[in-house]
Amino acid sequence: MTDEQKKKVNWLSRAEANEDYIAVLKLQIAREKDAALLLLEPELIQKVEDSIQEQTEKIAELVDVRYEIRKAISSIHDPELEAILVRRYLLYETVPEIARQMFFTVRTVQRKHLKALEKITIPQFGGCL
């Protein structure tokens, strides 16, 4: 795999890491909402509401990452290659799972994955590539 392909893989892989973070933020929001119900002081309630707002905004940013990735994948204009990238980077399937689902060999998926990485156009965000 070339350095450029590795950079593209790293860029595409951002969504999976975000999924866990989103789950944690949602849990934190739920707990803070529960805590807010117990608070009687307006100042403390406002702090909890501000925290919830910040976490909600962070979730929105993380969801935007998935949108960026989906948009980049659609730039390939090849349904088969797009399906491989969607399965790998948005559905988090392993190469053997993709091969099984798409009725390919593992080697074929690996080869098509590299071809898709060559074709994909990744936006230049703050030196990501």
Q: pTM for this structure? A: 0.74
Residue 67 Cα distances to 8, 71, 90, 109, angstroms: 16, 6, 10, 24
Of 8-17, 41-50, 103-112, where does mean pLDDT reach its minimum?
41-50
Query: DSSP letters of the chain?
Result: --HHHHHHHHHHTHHHHHHHHHHHHHHHHHHHHHHHHH---HHHHHHHHHHHHHHHHHHHHHHHHHHHHHHHHHTT--HHHHHHHHHHHTS---HHHHHHHHT--HHHHHHHHHHHHHH------TT--
| Cβ pair 68, 74 in contact under 8 A | no
Average pLDDT, rounded, for the chain: 89
| Cβ pair 123, 68 in contact under 8 A | yes
Is residue 125 predicted with pLDDT exceeding 70? no
pLDDT tens per residue across span 65-102: 999 999 999 999 999 999 999 999 999 999 999 999 99
Position 49 scores a pLDDT of 87
